[in-house]
Chains A and B, each alone.
Chain A
Amino acid sequence: MKNVSVSAPAVQKKTFADRVRLEIRTSGALYIMALPVILYYLLFRYIPMFGTVMAFQKFNIAKGIFGSPWIGFDNFITFFNSYYFVRLLRNTVLISLTDLVFNFPAPIIFALLLNEVNNRWFKKTVQTISYMPYFVSIVVLCGLVIDFCQAGGVISNAFSLLFGESVNLMSKPEYFRTIFVGSNIWQGLGYGSIVYIAALTSVDQELYEAAVIDGAGRWKQTIHITIPSIMPTIIILLILRMGSILDVGYEKVMLLYNPATYETADVISTFVYRKGFVDYDYSYSTAVGLFNSVINLCLLTLTNYVSRRAGEISLF
Chain B
Amino acid sequence: MAMVERKTLSRRVFLAANTLLLILIAFVCFAPFLHVFMASISDPALVEANHSIILWPLGKVSPKAYELVFKNDNIFIGYRNTLFYVIVGTVLSAFLSLLAGYVMSRKRCRWRNGFAFFITFTMMFHAGMIPTFIMVKNYGLVNTRWAVILPTAVSVYNTIIMRTSIAAVPDSLEESAHIDGAGDWVILFRIIFPLVKSTFAVIVLFYAVSKWNSWFEAMIYLTQRRDLYPLQLFLREILVQAKAASSADSDVVLYETLQKYATIIVSTLPILCVYPFVQKYFVQGVMIGSVKG
A-side residues, CB < 8 A to B, are 26-27, 29-30, 33-34, 36-38, 40-41, 43-52, 54, 61, 110, 113-114, 116-118, 122, 125-126, 128-133, 135-140, 142-144, 146-148, 152, 154, 157-158, 166, 186, 189-191, 194-195, 198, 205, 208-209, 212, 217-218, 233, 236-237, 251, 254-255, 269, 272-273, 276-277, 282, 285-286, 289-290, 292-293, 296-297, 300-301, 313-316
Contacts and interface: CB of A to CB of B under 8 A. Distances in A.
Contacts of A130: 25-26, 29
14 contacts: A30-B184, A34-B99, A40-B96, A44-B136, A51-B130, A110-B25, A126-B25, A139-B232, A140-B239, A143-B239, A144-B239, A195-B287, A233-B290, A315-B293
Interface string B83-122: 0000000000000100110110010110000010011101
A135 B275 contact: yes
Given A37-B103, A40-B154, A132-B272, 5 more contacts: A45-B127, A50-B131, A128-B279, A205-B2, A286-B130
Nearest to B104: A34
Given A132-B29, A194-B282, A208-B3, A154 B52 contact: yes
A180 to B, nearest CB: 14
Interface in B137-158: 139, 150-151, 153-154
Contacts of B153: 40, 44
B128 A293 contact: yes
Contact of B279 (A110, A126, A131, A233): A131
Interface in B193-212: 209, 212
Interface in B203-224: 209, 212-213, 215-216, 220
Q: How large is the interface on B (under 10, 10 to 19, 20 to 34, 35 or more residues)?
A: 35 or more
A272 B125 contact: no
B239 A113 contact: no
A146 B240 contact: yes
Interface stretch (B169-177, B244-252, B263-271): B263-271
A144 B264 contact: yes
B131 A146 contact: no
B62 interface: no
Nearest to A197: B283
Given A45-B122, A140-B235, A195-B287, A133 B22 contact: no
A49 B131 CA distance: 7
Contact of A157 (B52, B109, B136, B239): B52
A193 B236 CA distance: 29
B30 A139 contact: no
Contacts of B159: 37
Contacts of A37: 96, 99-100, 103, 119, 154, 159
Contact of B239 (A122, A147, A237): A147
B51 interface: yes
Contacts of A131: 275, 279, 282
Contact of B154 (A41, A146, A285): A41
A292 B131 CA distance: 14
Contacts of B213: 137-139
Interface of B: 1-3, 5, 8, 11, 14-15, 18-19, 21-23, 25-26, 28-30, 32-33, 35-36, 51-53, 96, 99-100, 102-103, 106, 108-109, 115, 118-120, 122, 124-136, 139, 150-151, 153-154, 159, 183-185, 188, 209, 212-213, 215-216, 220, 232, 235-236, 238-240, 242, 257, 260, 264, 267-268, 271-272, 275-276, 279, 282-283, 286-287, 290, 292-293
B151 A300 contact: no
A27 B51 contact: no
Contacts of A166: 51
A276 B130 contact: yes
Contact of A189 (B14, B23, B25, B290): B25
B100 A273 contact: no
Given A116-B15, A144-B36, A44 B3 contact: no
Contact of A48 (B132, B212, B215): B132
Nearest to A132: B29
Contacts of B19: 117, 122
Contacts of A233: 290
B232 A236 contact: no
Nearest to B151: A44
A137 B235 contact: yes
A191 B282 CA distance: 9
Nearest to B112: A30
Contacts of B136: 44
B18 A116 contact: yes
Contacts of B242: 146
A251 B122 contact: no
Given A116-B15, A126-B22, A132-B30, A48 B127 contact: yes
B67 to A, nearest CB: 21
B26 A129 contact: yes
Contact of B134 (A51, A118, A254): A51
Nearest to B126: A293
A38 B25 CA distance: 46
Contacts of B51: 152, 154, 157, 166
A30 B124 contact: no
A13 B209 CA distance: 54
B3 A205 contact: yes
A54 B129 CA distance: 12
B130 A54 contact: yes
